[in-house]
């Protein structure tokens, strides 16, 4: 069972009493939570607009990326409701080859999952390996849809809580901004019932016809599966590229540190001169005789430090080769393969025109090809840099050993052999000792606009001066915008079948738990959406019933008069509504309020038709005996929650004083409940 405390701590309990684990206290308020239908995950929504998925087995948190689509960054809206429903594709019995038979990714080189090793100079005292992104299990047998409502009244759809399918924007169907507080769907997801509330006096129920979610399931699942793989590869490539840049910066930093040491020696002797350490070393290479400053530097330079410089540089060079060969190149091949799959879908315009376009996908493939080509060029340049450094460090080591054994500063020992390859040493001193000869591969071009790359043209020429990190950001942007987000398609294909407004007064401080609770119940004949509202100022409970399968039938309501204050409520199943309430003593304020748990058989109530003129805030309520009732001893300010499984109504009640109970209402327990009652 999931517990959310007043300090927004998320805790998971087994059997309601044994703590399994809990999450750190977030910096924002938790506003909604929902369980995945199979119970393996649950989602939590926050007031700042974040949605996080928690896996029950490992209790690892994964943020739902980009659930608001492209407009989310412009104005982040707080989460107001979450609903997680099944989204299974209708099984068809066809005598065809399995889909895996045409999966060419199995023929590509495998990805390395070993953690990336950082530069040695960074991890001298503490060795920390950065983990790689974990690929989401996209081969799920049971597909689900996470429905996210926000403060602006928009409904966001996320397949399996991973892939953002689209957004149904309420501003295109309403003139006043209202929060979406509840959403109900039919099993086929061809119809939706949305409930909006303005936070004061107006409630609104809207029924939408969404045939695209029903008849385009195969297309949505195919695009989502491919895009999920692409998103993983983008994270994998970004992580590997960042580590590649760290190793490159480390090689440059090691050389510059030694160049700065030579510079300080030169300036200590003549502070007004222009210190050029590479020129002094070239003079040493040409004549064999150093000046005073260079002689002091070579004499004081320990052999152990030279060996450390050599080892750290070779380690970074080796890691660069490994990252390119085992991480970046295989990931690029797989990314091009997945983008080609999307392109194949986009060419099938009859089925995928609403989701994909060919031109943006081509732009993605060409940009990845440029990235791949530059990787090969960079690898060749790194190999040449390694040869230059090998000759240079051998020459430096030879000179350090020569001058440290001499007593005379300018004595030239002719017995020492000449430099093995002076040409490579000269190249290293000119290009890589005081500067970065490979800086062009990590350069950032501020004037480059990503939108220009989406247009037709010579993309390789436009990207010739773009570094790997910026190029990776461009690829990520193009790949995530290549699938035409079907938000406009969803809105265009969503027809309003029914729209009802009502007067509804719900004060925020009236209840401790939920002011509004809802649930959808399906049977062979129809699908009904039920809502329950607590109006504690009038000691009244409202229940609304709306048919999703019949748009011509008006919504119905019933008002129940209560003697006590409602603290929370929850639909246990399709028969009973659980209500937690407190017995208050108006004549004696010092008397301790007693808490009760009761149930209402809401299916057996007499509902009245809800008209546009009906004012639910002033409607007459009738007395109704509770079907079940039990005292909750030593508990106050009670909230409750159900696990939602049919024929196994297990739920918990948690009091403000920290006490909790786990109750079971199976048919076999009715006699025991009557005795307790």
DSSP 515-582: SEEEEEEE-SS-EEEEEEEEEGGGTEEEEEEEESS-TTSPPEEEEEE-SSEEEEEEE-SSS-EEEEEE
- Nearest Cα to 339, choosing from 258, 196, 231? 231
What distance in Å separates the CA atoms of residue 314 and residue 318, rounded to the nearest whole number? Answer: 6
Query: What angle do the packed helices 358-404 and 303-322 form, to 10 degrees?
Result: 160
CA–CA distance from 563 to each of 535, 558, 566, 581, 660 (Å)? 12, 17, 9, 9, 24
- Is 70 exceeded by the pLDDT of residue 452? no
First to last CA, the chain: 25
Element (H, E) at 245: helix 217-269
pLDDT of amino acid 15: 64
What distance in Å separates the CA atoms of residue 209 and residue 420, rounded to the nearest whole number? Answer: 80
pLDDT tens digits along 317-350? 999 999 999 999 999 999 999 999 999 999 998 8
* CATH code linked to domain 1-90+146-214: 2.130.10.10
- Is 80 exceeded by the pLDDT of residue 511? no
Higher pLDDT, residue 117 or 17: 117
Q: How confident is the model at residue 410 (pLDDT cuts 50, 70, 90)?
A: very low
- Is 90 exceeded by the pLDDT of residue 456? no
- Nearest Cα to 319, choosing from 114, 155, 42, 592? 114
What distance in Å separates the CA atoms of residue 326 and residue 75, rounded to the nearest whole number? Answer: 40
What is the pTM assigned to this prediction? Answer: 0.80
Beta-bridge mates of residue 467: none
Mean model confidence pLDDT for the chain: 81
Element (H, E) at 44: strand 41-46
Q: How confident is the model over 68-83, as a mean pLDDT? A: 68
Say if CB 81 and CB 32 are below 8 A apart: yes
Q: Cα torsion at 608, 569, 528, 39 (round to 10°)?
A: 180
What distance in Å separates the CA atoms of residue 287 and residue 62, rounded to the nearest whole number? Answer: 63
Using the 8-state DSSP alphabet, how is residue 69 labeled?
G
pLDDT of amino acid 242: 95
Instruction: Give one DSSP letter per residue of 135-189, joined into a string.
Output: PP----SS-EEEEEEETTS-EEEEETTTEEEEEE-GGGT-SS--EEEEEEE-TTS
What distance in Å separates the CA atoms of residue 544 and residue 503, rounded to the nearest whole number? Answer: 13
| Continuous H helices in 177-216 | 211-215
Higher pLDDT, residue 304 or 616: 304
- Is 80 exceeded by the pLDDT of residue 177? no
What distance in Å separates the CA atoms of residue 43 and residue 156, rounded to the nearest whole number? Answer: 14
pLDDT tens digits along 246-290? 999 999 999 999 888 888 888 887 766 667 888 888 888 888 888
- Is 60 exceeded by the pLDDT of residue 557? yes
* Locus of tokens 């990235």: 371
How many other β-carbons are positioned within 10 Å of the β-carbon of residue 385? 21
Q: How confident is the model at residue 417 (pLDDT cuts 50, 70, 90)?
A: low
SS (H, E, C) 4-25: ECCCCCEEEEECCCEEEEECCC
Higher pLDDT, residue 613 or 385: 385
What distance in Å separates the CA atoms of residue 362 and residue 538, rounded to the nearest whole number? Answer: 63
Radius of gyration of the chain, Cα coordinates, nearest whole angstrom: 34
pLDDT tens digits along 78-92? 899 999 999 977 655
What distance in Å separates the CA atoms of residue 88 and residue 107, rounded to the nearest whole number? Answer: 30
Say if CB 548 and CB 531 are below 8 A apart: no
Say if CB 338 and CB 330 are below 8 A apart: no
Pick from 240-244, 299-303, 459-463: least confident: 459-463
What distance in Å separates the CA atoms of residue 596 and residue 222, rounded to the nearest whole number? Answer: 50
- Is 50 exceeded by the pLDDT of residue 237? yes
Helix (H, G, I), strand (E, B) or coil at 210: coil
What distance in Å separates the CA atoms of residue 181 and residue 517, rounded to the nearest whole number? Answer: 9
477 sits in the region (left: phi over 0; alpha: psi -120 to 50; else beta) called alpha
């Amino acid at each position: 069972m999931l517990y959310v405390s007043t300090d927004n701590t998320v805790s998971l309990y087994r059997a309601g009493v044994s703590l399994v684990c809990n999450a750190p206290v977030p910096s924002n308020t938790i506003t909604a939570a929902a369980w995945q239908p199979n119970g393996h995950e649950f989602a939590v929504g926050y007031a700042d607009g974040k949605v996080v998925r928690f896996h029950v087995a490992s209790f690892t948190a994964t943020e739902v990326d980009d659930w608001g689509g492209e407009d989310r960054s412009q104005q982040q809206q707080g989460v107001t409701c979450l609903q997680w429903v099944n989204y299974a594709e209708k099984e068809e019995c066809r005598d065809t080859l399995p889909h895996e038979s045409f999966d060419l990714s199995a023929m590509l080189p495998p990805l390395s999952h070993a953690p990336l090793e950082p530069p040695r100079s960074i991890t001298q005292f503490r060795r920390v390996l950065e983990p790689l992104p974990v690929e989401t299990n996209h081969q799920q047998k049971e597909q689900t849809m996470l429905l996210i409502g926000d403060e602006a009244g928009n409904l966001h759809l996320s397949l399996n809580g991973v892939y953002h399918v689209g957004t149904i924007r309420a501003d295109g169907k309403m003139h006043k901004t209202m929060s979406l507080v509840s959403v109900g769907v039919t099993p086929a997801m061809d119809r939706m019932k949305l409930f909006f509330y303005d936070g004061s006096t107006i409630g609104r129920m809207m029924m939408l016809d969404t045939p695209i979610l029903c008849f385009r399931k195969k297309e949505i699942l195919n695009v989502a599966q491919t895009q999920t793989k692409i998103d993983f590869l983008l994270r994998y490539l970004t992580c590997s590229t960042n580590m590649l840049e760290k190793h490159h910066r480390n090689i440059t930093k090691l050389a510059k540190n030694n160049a700065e040491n030579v510079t300080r020696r030169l300036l200590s002797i003549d502070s007004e001169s222009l210190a050029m350490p590479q020129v002094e070393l070239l003079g040493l290479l040409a004549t064999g005789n150093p000046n005073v400053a260079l002689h002091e530097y070579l004499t004081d330079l320990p052999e152990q430090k030279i060996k450390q410089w050599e080892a750290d540089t070779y380690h970074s060079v080796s890691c660069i080769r490994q990252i390119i060969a085992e991480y970046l190149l295989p990931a690029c091949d797989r990314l091009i393969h997945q983008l080609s799959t999307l392109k194949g879908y986009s060419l099938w315009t009859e089925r995928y025109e609403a989701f994909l376009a060919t031109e943006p996908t081509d732009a993605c493939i060409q940009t990845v090809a440029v990235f791949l080509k530059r990787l090969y060029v960079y690898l060749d340049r790194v190999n040449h840099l390694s040869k230059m450094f090998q000759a240079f460090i051998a020459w430096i080591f030879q000179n350090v050993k020569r001058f440290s054994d001499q007593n005379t500063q300018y004595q030239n020992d002719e017995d020492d052999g000449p430099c093995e390859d002076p040409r490579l040493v000269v190249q290293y001193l000119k290009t890589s000792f005081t500067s970065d000869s490979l800086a062009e591969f990590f350069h950032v071009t501020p004037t480059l606009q990503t939108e220009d790359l989406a247009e037709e043209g010579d993309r390789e020429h436009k990207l010739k001066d773009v570094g790997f990190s910026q190029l990776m950001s461009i690829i990520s942007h193009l790949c995530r915008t290549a699938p035409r987000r079907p938000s406009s398609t969803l809105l265009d294909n969503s027809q309003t079948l029914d729209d009802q407004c009502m007067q509804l007064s719900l004060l925020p401080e009236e209840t401790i738990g939920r002011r509004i609770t809802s649930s959808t119940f399906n049977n062979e004949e129809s699908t009904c959406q039920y809502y329950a509202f607590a109006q504690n100022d009038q000691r009244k409970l409202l229940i609304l019933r709306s048919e999703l399968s019949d748009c011509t039938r008006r919504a119905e309501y019933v008002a129940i008069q209560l003697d006590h204050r409602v603290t929370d409520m929850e639909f246990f199943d399709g028969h009973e509504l659980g209500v937690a309430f407190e017995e208050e003593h108006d004549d004696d304020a010092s008397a301790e309020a007693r808490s009760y748990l009761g149930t209402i058989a809401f299916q057996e109530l007499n509902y009245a038709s809800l008209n546009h003129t009906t004012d639910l805030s002033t409607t007459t309520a009738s007395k109704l005996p509770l079907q079940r009732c039990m005292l909750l001893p030593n508990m106050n300010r009670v909230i409750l929650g159900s696990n939602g499984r049919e024929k196994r109504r297990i739920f918990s009640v948690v009091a403000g004083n920290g006490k909790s109970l786990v109750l079971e209402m199976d048919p076999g327990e009715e006699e025991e409940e009557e005795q307790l009652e």
